[in-house]
Amino acid sequence: MKTVLVTGASGFVGGHVVEALARNGIRPRCLVRQSSRLDFIREWSPEFVSGDITSPASLESAVEGMDGVVHCAGVTRALSVKDYWRFNVDGCSNLYRACLAKNPAVRRIVHIGSLAALGPSAAGIPVQEGQERHPVSNYGSSKLAGQRIAEAHMDRLPVVILIPPAVYGPFDRAFLGLFTCAKRGLAPAIGREERWVSLIYAKDLARAVLACLESEKAAGKEYLLEDGHPHAWREVTAAIGQSMHTSPVRVRIPLMLAKLAATVIGCAARCKGKPTFFDRDRLKDFLQPSWTCSSARLRTELGFAPKYNLAQGIAETCRWYTEHNWL
Ligand SMILES: NC(=O)c1ccc[n+]([C@@H]2O[C@H](COP(=O)([O-])OP(=O)(O)OC[C@H]3O[C@@H](n4cnc5c(N)ncnc54)[C@H](OP(=O)(O)O)[C@@H]3O)[C@@H](O)[C@H]2O)c1
């Protein structure tokens, strides 16, 4: 594979995919918008192509001549259900239609899904591929609808769906808040219940994308991805504290207070016209006791093993935040 189009290349996940492609001798073509920040991908000297996943015409020229496509563009926060649908669902239709029209011989398309689309796990039982899906937020429902579009194209295009849980690493703003709290000696946790999560370090996610692009076996498959162990929330905040040489004190945020805060922050976001990661809709995701999954299929079929455990990934993330003055 010589050339790969990356949608969402200016984002957190897409940026890591661009880096991994470039490091492995594959030339990335980055779909970007006028407003996209390019600081973190410019150093990989990719080709830039201007486009928008809501504009089918721009996608047709972007996919032409590519050996592969990695679809990372989407929104993880939005002001309305309509917006989630426009970007996470219609955007997928537009891209796969453009591939059928202008590049039906594309060798591989990697669709980045989300564990939020499959729904939370039952206590102690990690989610696996092929299970019944029950998203709890508008974000999760829109990601499921996007995934269904990818699945519906599998008979005509060599699509593989890679489904990460929460991703952390350099350039991510969602986990940054936890590091900032740890710096102040605090480890926030919502409610009394211990919560469980699967996680993946962004560099391992990018390596999994490469495996999906290159393996003959991957087309037409769905793969969940995680770092090998479910993590109690306590373990995550402790690892963050350790990376910063602090022992943050656990601060329990009562459920009612979390709901009130999400309502206020959500309203403020709507007034400003700027979506937030912490509103009443996304709170439904955060309140689930368990978001764990198993990457057994990815390991067995593609031989993929993560390189980073939680402590290593968190330590590297902390170093990056510090070096880039994000902390
Ligand atoms: N982060 C996680 O923990 C996580 C976990 C599971 C799955 N995912 C999935 O991974 C994907 C990327 O997430 P992320 O965390 O990297 O989000 P992100 O940092 O917000 O990046 C989103 C990317 O999508 C682009 N984009 C948004 N709307 C677009 C449009 N209309 N046309 C073209 N590009 C558009 C953005 O471009 P601009 O720079 O121009 O805004 C940006 O490059 C999403 O599909 C998400 O559901 C993420």
Question: Domains in the chain, ordered, with CATH?
Answer: 3-173+198-229+291-309 (3.40.50.720)
Compute the Cα dihedral for 185, 190, 194, 198 and give only its sign. Answer: negative
Among candidates 53, 51, 20, which has minimal Cα distance to 34? 51
Helix/strand number for the chain, H first, E second: 13, 14
Work out the average pLDDT over 264-280: 94
Q: Read off the pLDDT of each residue in 121-146 and give the average, rounded to a whole number.
A: 96
pLDDT at 192: 86
Indicate if ligand 1 lies below 6 Å from the C-beta of 276.
no
Express each pLDDT in 84-94 by its tens digit: 999 999 999 99
The percent of residues in the chain predicted with pLDDT above 90, rounded, is 97
Residue 19 reports pLDDT greater than 90:
yes
Q: Which two tokens stand for residue 244?
A: 């910063």
The predicted-structure confidence for 171-218, as pLDDT tens digits, reads as follows: 999 999 999 999 999 999 999 889 999 999 999 999 999 999 999 999
Pocket of ligand 1 contains residue 73 by CB under 6 Å = yes
**Local structure of 32: helix, strand or coil:** strand
Q: What is the chain's mean pLDDT, rounded?
A: 96
pLDDT of the residue at 277: 87
Residue 152 pLDDT greater than 90, yes or no: yes
pLDDT of residue 262: 94
- The β-bridge partners of 197 are 231, 291
* CB of residue 54 inside a 6 A radius of ligand 1: yes
Answer yes or no: pTM beyond 0.95: yes
Ligand 1 atom closest to the Cα of residue 173 is 19
Q: Give the nearest ligand 1 atom to 53 CA.
A: 32
Query: Would the CB of 34 count as within 6 Å of ligand 1?
Result: no
- pLDDT for the residue 153: 98
**Ligand 1 binding pocket includes 33 (Cβ within 6 Å):** yes
- Average pLDDT rounded to a whole number, residues 121-137: 95
Quick check: 257 pLDDT over 90?
A: yes
Verify whether ligand 1 is closer than 6 Å to residue 292 (CB atom). no
User: Which pLDDT score, from 0 to 100, does residue 124 have?
Assistant: 84
* Interatomic CA distance for residues 106 and 162, integer angstroms: 18
pLDDT band at 123 (very low <50, low <70, confident <90, very high): confident
146 pocket-lining for ligand 1 (C-beta < 6 Å): no
Q: What percent of the chain has pLDDT over 70?
A: 100
For 290-317, what is the mean pLDDT?
A: 98
**Start-to-end C-alpha separation, the chain:** 38
Cβ contact 327:177 at 8 Å: no
Residue owning the nearest CA to atom 11 of ligand 1: 72
DSSP character at residue 44:
G
Q: Residue 232: beta bridge partners?
A: 196
pLDDT on residue 145: 98
In one-letter notation, the amino acid at residue 213 is: L
CB-based contact 99:106 (threshold 8 Å): yes
Count of CA atoms in the C-beta half-sphere (13 A) of 73: 29
Phi first, then psi, for residue 114 (nearest 5°) are -160, 145
| Tokens 């039982």 -> residue | 125
pLDDT, tens only, 275-296 = 998 999 999 999 999 999 999 9
Answer yes or no: is the C-beta of 262 below 6 A from any ligand 1 atom.
Answer: no
- pLDDT for res 52: 98
Which of 5, 7, 10, 13 is the pocket-test mutation for ligand 1 (most atoms within 8 Å of CB)? 13
